[in-house]
Amino acid sequence: MPTNQLPRSTPEAQGISSAALLAFVEALEHVPEIHSLMLLRHGCVVAEGWWAPYAAARPHMLYSLTKSFTSTAVGLAVAEGRLTVNDLLLSFFPNEAPSHPDANLAKMRIRHLLSMSTGHDKDTTERLHTSPDGDWIKAFLALPVEHEPGTHFVYNSGASYMLAAVVQKLTGMKLIDYLTPRLFDPLGIENPTWETSPQGINFGGWGLSLKTEDIARFGQLYLQKGVFEAERILSEAWVDEATSKHVSNGTKPDSDWEQGYGYQFWRCRHGAYRGDGAFGQYCLVLPALDAVLAITSGVDDMQAVLNVVWQHLLPALGPAPLLANPAAAAAQARLVDKLSGLALTPPQGQALTPVAAAISGKTFLLEPNAMKIEAIRFDFGAGGSALKLHLEGGEQLILAGCGEWTEGIMAAGAPGARPVAASGVWTAADTFVLTLRYYETPCYDTYAFHFDGESLLLKGNVNVAFGPKEYPAVQGRMER
């Protein structure tokens, strides 16, 4: 076993029936687009799986699960005596502050940023992105603060960004550099990446990418009150403070988004707490049951995932080891077989049609479009397809498997390059469907190419998004 892996165990040795875990995994698959899971019980991994093309060695974009790492950076800075949670925000940015700050801004403290109770009426993030001069700190401090800090909950990624800015101001280091020797290295987290703002500050509220096991390690650190592998990393007092309820955010008893909010952690039902990110990135900690669950996904309904956890996993976490017997051994084998064979099914259809033969080797010119694709050459074969995209400033070759995923790199060598797994099939005589899975993110694109003689109609969509999921249709004609 590699030295940086968590210890592994059979479920039964940690008080869980393998049959019950198998039922949990099967129920989880009814929620579309789960990408990975790892369950720890008593510090041991008892179940782990990745739905191909997602894999154990590949990082996954965390979105707002990043916030819990930002909170941890603040906790470490507090322990080093660099600040307190009662410090006023304006004390850190005298040069960026408005000349006449309003009374509510003047009252805003670090704990208000941590607990999403800054007093703003709505999330500030978009207004930071659109600030004319690109100075997000000044933009945040210039915004009106409609409520007295501490009295009004609004989920506010801009507040998390300001926490990152504070830590960088105090330490002279980006969060990723500050956390590497203090958190990432001690936890055995290798090669984390974190996006930055125009000012060179890590996005405190999003932008971190880690592997599934890294998420599980982070959860185990919090479960063990700041200790990991016998080393004290965080103070127990900070863990307790950060994961306690500091502000109310609703009253619905069946919603895991209305159980209160801590310091960049959500309170959950059943005495649990979590960090989470858009489209289903979870670090779920269950202190009473000594368990941690890490999940990555690309889901629209995040509550549906937690409902499966409460319904199927929670009752399976027993108080004592289970006896070894032939039935348990058989259930373990079925669970291992299930987890080792997880995969997201590629699109189904035909590799070739008469239309495919007619247009193979041909190039279609596209009307001006937001994707900036000027032309596409299509080549089809029994084993898959190749699309050569002519773009503004270059070319992109996409190799797509038929009935399987073919891996490649989109925009290789460019700043926005990202790994992709592609698969394409003919779903009708005149329609070729291409799926592009950006497997280090929650997202995949689906493009339908409808051919009518020498004409082409291209339609596309993405599985999850903060805005519209449908892309504008694009017309094209065969080059002569």
Q: What is the pLDDT of residue 410?
A: 87
Question: Among candidates 265, 300, 232, which has minimal Cα distance to 76?
Answer: 232
Peptide bond into 98 cis (omega under 30): no
CA distance 421 to 177: 31
| Percentage of residues of the chain with pLDDT beyond 70 | 99
Q: What is the pLDDT of residue 112?
A: 98
How much is the average pLDDT of 196-204? 96
How much is the average pLDDT of 23-39? 97
pTM summary value: 0.96
Burial class (CB in 10 A: 0-12, 13-18, 19+), 391: middle
Confidence bin at 1 (pLDDT 50/70/90): very low
Coil vs helix vs strand at 105:
helix
Question: Among candidates 286, 280, 342, which has minimal Cα distance to 316?
Answer: 286
Inform me whether the pLDDT recorded for 307 exceeds 90: yes
pLDDT digits (tens, 9 = 90+) for 382-419: 999 999 999 987 899 999 999 999 999 987 766 678 99
Inform me whether the pLDDT recorded for 353 exceeds 70: yes
CA distance 207 to 209: 7
Cβ neighbors of 433 (< 8 A, separation 6 or more) are 347, 349, 424, 425, 426, 427, 446, 447, 448, 449
Inform me whether the pLDDT recorded for 304 exceeds 60: yes
Q: What is the pLDDT of residue 411?
A: 77
CA distance 5 to 48: 12
Inform me whether the pLDDT recorded for 70 exceeds 90: yes
Question: Among candidates 354, 358, 374, which has minimal Cα distance to 366?
Answer: 374
How much is the average pLDDT of 213-221? 98
Q: What is the pLDDT of residue 2?
A: 45
pLDDT digits (tens, 9 = 90+) for 418-441: 999 999 999 999 999 999 999 999
- Identify the CATH number of the domain defined by range 354-478: 2.40.128.20
Q: What is the pLDDT of residue 413?
A: 67
Instruction: Count CB atoms within 10 A of the CB of residue 368.
Output: 8
| Average of per-residue pLDDT values in the chain | 96
Inform me whether the pLDDT recorded for 3 exceeds 70: no
Domain ranges of the chain: 60-316, 354-478
How much is the average pLDDT of 38-44? 98
- Identify the CATH number of the domain defined by range 60-316: 3.40.710.10
pLDDT digits (tens, 9 = 90+) for 309-321: 999 999 999 999 9
CA distance 96 to 365: 50
Q: What is the pLDDT of residue 5?
A: 86
Angle at alpha carbon of residue 39, lines to 35 and 40, rounded to 5°: 150
How much is the average pLDDT of 100-105? 94
| Percentage of residues of the chain with pLDDT beyond 90 | 94
Which residue has 């065969």 as its token pair? 478
pLDDT digits (tens, 9 = 90+) for 141-156: 999 999 999 999 999 9
